């Protein structure tokens, strides 16, 4: 069995649990996110020794840096940051570009679908667009009319997009290994 297929099989229940938590509570528990980071790094150390372990650490740091600015601007939650760090540890640095692309694409498709279905309130997106493109727009009045950030309909469960991104990344890697 290839190590990538092994990682996919072991990560699937973890990703499913995180998706469930994120959809139900919009929270990602630390024991699942950080626990998976530790488990992935321990597995990498045992399977591939120090070079594979360092590849996982570098992947986790790179993935975490990807969400650092949105986190600092309060556009992403701490759980999303920790989950992306854990998936970076799982996938490694060499898969980072495809992981981030698949995660971003899944998040975009999910956000558009949720906006169309009416599951997410698009008023903040509309406000930001008007702030950028409409010089006549009253920014202060628009900001006051926005729903609170704690409202359930304002927050997107990005953990689902991260899980889809990990799945797609590992599947693409498996297909690439079998094609070679």
Q: Is residue 141 part of a domain?
A: no
Question: Which of 48, 54, 68 lies closest to 6, judged by CA?
Answer: 48
Structural domain contains residue 38: yes
Please tell me what DSSP assigns to residue 53: H
Q: How many C-alpha atoms does 46 have within 13 Å on its Cβ side?
A: 7
Q: What was the pLDDT predicted at 148? A: 66
Is the overall model pTM greater than 0.85, yes or no?
no
Q: What pLDDT does 74 receive?
A: 74
127 within some domain: no
Secondary structure percentages of the chain, helix, strand, coil, to 5: 80, 0, 20
User: What distance, in Å, lies between the first and last C-alpha atoms of the chain?
Assistant: 16
**In whole angstroms, what is the distance from residue 166 CA to residue 152 CA?**
25
pLDDT of residue 149: 63
Structural domain total, the chain: 1
Query: In the chain, what percentage of residues exceed pLDDT 70?
Result: 89
> Is the confidence at residue 102, as pLDDT, over 90?
yes
**Residue-range definition of the domain harbouring residue 53:** 3-120+155-179
The first and second tokens of residue 34, run together, are 């950080």
CA 133 centroid distance within chain? 29
Q: Which pLDDT score, from 0 to 100, does residue 130 have? A: 74
Is 10 part of a structural domain of the chain?
A: yes
Residue 35 lies inside a defined structural domain of this protein: yes
**Mean pLDDT computed over 164-171:** 92
Q: How far apart are CA 53 and CA 48, in angstroms?
A: 7
Query: How confident is the model at residue 111, as a pLDDT?
Result: 85
Cα 148 → chain centroid: 23
Residue listed under structure tokens 């899980």 = 163
Section 55-70 average pLDDT: 88
Residue 137 pLDDT exceeds 90 = no
Whole-number Å distance between alpha carbons of 10 and 85: 17
- What is the mean pLDDT of the segment spanning 81-88? 91
Neighbours of 77 (CB within 10 A): 21
Judged against a pLDDT cut of 80, whether residue 67 lies above it is answered with yes
Answer whether residue 148 is part of any domain.
Answer: no
Distance CA 177, CA 180 (A): 5
**Residue-wise DSSP of 72-93:** HTTSS-HHHHHHHHHHHHHH-G
* pLDDT per position as a tens digit, 69-78: 888 877 777 8
Query: How large is the average pLDDT for residues 80-91?
Result: 90
Q: Which residue has the higher pLDDT, 122 or 132?
A: 132
């Amino acid at each position: 069995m290839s190590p990538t297929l092994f990682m996919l099989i072991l990560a699937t229940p973890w990703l499913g649990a995180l998706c469930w938590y994120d959809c139900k509570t919009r929270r990602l528990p630390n024991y699942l996110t950080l626990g998976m980071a530790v488990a992935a790094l321990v597995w990498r150390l045992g399977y591939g020794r120090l070079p594979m372990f360092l590849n996982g650490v570098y992947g986790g740091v790179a993935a975490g840096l990807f969400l650092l600015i949105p986190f600092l601007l309060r556009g992403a939650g701490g759980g999303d940051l920790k989950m992306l760090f854990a998936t970076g540890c799982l996938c490694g640095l060499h898969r980072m570009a495809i992981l981030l692309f698949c995660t971003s694409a899944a998040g975009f498709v999910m956000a558009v679908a949720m906006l169309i279905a009416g599951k997410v309130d698009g008023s903040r997106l509309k406000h930001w667009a008007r702030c950028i493109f409409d010089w006549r727009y009253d920014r202060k009045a628009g900001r006051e009319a926005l729903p609170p950030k704690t409202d359930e309909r304002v927050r997107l469960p990005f953990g689902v997009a991260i899980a889809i991104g990990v799945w797609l990344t590992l599947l693409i890697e498996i297909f690439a290994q079998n094609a070679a």
